[in-house]
Amino acid sequence: MLSRLAGRQNWCFLNPIVSESKLFWWRLLGRVLLFFLSSAFVLAATAPLTQKIPGPWANFVLGLVAALGAFALTVLFVRWEGLPLQSVGAAPKRGSLLRFAFGFLVGLVLVALYASISAAAGHVRWVRAPGNGFAPTLMSLLTYFALSCREELGFRGYPLLRLKGFFGVWGAQIYRCSGLCR
């Protein structure tokens, strides 16, 4: 019996009577955890390299290298599973620019709403900082964009969409937010 199971895909070294769906679940979970660990390693390995970069460029370089690393990991893991990049939302397609603009606008509205509520409640007083011009503001925006790309690719791209296919939307969100992967 063991020799018959050895050639089948649902064979497992520890328990040859593991069902295929259970083995699939463990493989999926293992790949997602490996992705999270690899993504954290890329970020941790990049951070010391940026300490020698002066000023606000360090955070921008950190975000850019970490985002590129997260994209490279996404490509690697998607290819490993034989999936197209579109299946995890990492490939641009028609309407991507419009969705990006809409998401950016919604993000700006949320920040403005938070700032307005905080100011109206009296918890915050907004004061313009002297010496901030166009260049530092643009650098902050680019840094925020790079770090946002890294976060989207690292936490909501491959891992969330792969878990969603198996656990459903709420199960994937609960697992991702449970602290096991973040």
Residue 143 lies in a domain: no
Q: How many domains does the chain have?
A: 1
Residue 1 lies in a domain: yes
Query: Confidence class of residue 82 from pLDDT cuts 50, 70 and 90?
Result: confident
DSSP at 157: I
User: What is the DSSP annotation of 63-94?
Assistant: HHHHHHHHHHHHHHHHHHHT--GGGGT-S--T
Higher confidence at residue 23 or residue 158? 158
What pTM, to 2 d.p., does this model score?
A: 0.72
Residue 136 lies in a domain: no
Reading the block at residue 180, the tokens are 């096991």
Residue 176 is predicted with a pLDDT of 67
Residue 23 lies in a domain: yes
Higher confidence at residue 89 or residue 178? 89
Give the Cα separation of 118 and 125 in Å (integer).
9
Burial (CB < 10 A; 0-12, 13-18, 19+), residue 66, is buried
Residue 170 is predicted with a pLDDT of 81
- Nearest 10 degrees: Cα torsion 22, 27, 33, 39: -160
